Amino acid sequence: MDGGLVQNSQMAVNKETDIFDKCSKFTAAREAMAAGLYPYFRVIESAQDPEVIVDGRKMIMIGSNNYLGLTNHPRVKEAALEAVRKYGSGCAGSRLLNGTLDIHVRLEEKLARFMRKETALVFSTGFQTNLGVISALAGKDDIILIDKMDHASIIDGCRLSFGEIKKYRHNDMEDLERLLQQNNGKGKLIIVDGVFSMEGDIADLPNIVRLSKKYGARLMVDDAHGIGVLGKTGRGTAEHFGLEDEVDLIMGTYSKSLASIGGFIAASEDVVHYIKHFARALIFSASPPPSSVASVSAAIDIIEEEPGRRERLWHNTNKALNGFKALGFDTGKSETPIIPVIVGEDRKAFTMARMLHDRGIFANVAVSPAVPADMALIRTSYMATHTDEQLDRVLKAFEEVGRALGII
Ligand code: PMP
Q: Compute the distance from residue 14 Cα to the ligand 1 centre, in Å.
A: 40
Name the pTM for this structure.
0.95
Q: What is the CATH number of domain 27-61+307-404?
A: 3.90.1150.10
* pLDDT bucket at 372, cuts 50 / 70 / 90: confident
Residue 127 CA, ligand 1 centroid: distance in Å: 6
Please name the amino acid found at residue 31: E
Could you give phi then psi for residue 361, rounded to 5 degrees? -115, 125
Q: Please say if the pLDDT value at position 397 is more than 60.
A: yes
Sorting pLDDT into bands at 50, 70 and 90, what band is 11?
low
Domain ranges of the chain: 27-61+307-404, 74-305
CB of 366 shorter than 6 A to ligand 1: no
**Is pLDDT at 5 greater than 70 in this prediction?**
no
CA dihedral 48, 254, 96, 189 (to 10 degrees): -140
Which residues carry out catalysis? Answer: 197, 225, 256
224 lines ligand 1 (CB under 6 A): yes
Q: What is the mean pLDDT of the chain?
A: 95
Number of neighbours of residue 358 by Cβ within 10 angstroms:
11
For 350-362, the pLDDT digits (tens) are 999 999 999 999 9
- Which CATH number describes the domain made up of 74-305? 3.40.640.10
| pLDDT, average across residues 355-375 | 94
Rounded percentage of the chain residues whose pLDDT exceeds 70: 96
Summarize the chain as % helix, strand, coil (round to 5). 45, 15, 40
* Mean pLDDT confidence for 253-276: 98
Ligand 1 pocket, mutate which of 48, 151, 199, 237 (most atoms under 8 A from CB): 151
Measured from the Cα of 65, ligand 1's closest atom is: 8
pLDDT confidence bin for 15, thresholds 50/70/90? low
- Taking only the tens place, the pLDDT of each residue in 307-341 is 999 999 999 999 999 999 999 999 999 999 999 99
204-224 tens-digit pLDDT = 999 999 999 999 999 999 999
Residue 408 burial (CB < 10 Å; 0-12/13-18/19+)? Answer: middle
Asked if pLDDT for residue 126 goes beyond 70, the answer is: yes
Q: What is the pLDDT of residues 60-95, one digit of tens each?
A: 999 999 999 999 999 999 999 999 999 999 999 999
Q: Does residue 95's CB lie within 6 angstroms of at least one atom of ligand 1? A: no
Q: Are 339 and 312 in contact (CB under 8 A)?
A: no
pLDDT (0 to 100) of residue 373: 87
> What order do you get walking across the sheet with 187-193 strand by strand?
119-123, 263-267, 249-253, 218-222, 187-193, 142-147, 164-168
List the beta bridge partners of residue 188.
143
Cross-strand pairs, 250: 221, 266
Q: Locate the DSSP E strands across 247-300.
A: 249-253, 263-267
Spatial separation of the C-alpha atoms in residues 260 and 116, rounded to whole Å = 21
Same fold yes or no, 27-61+307-404 and 74-305: no
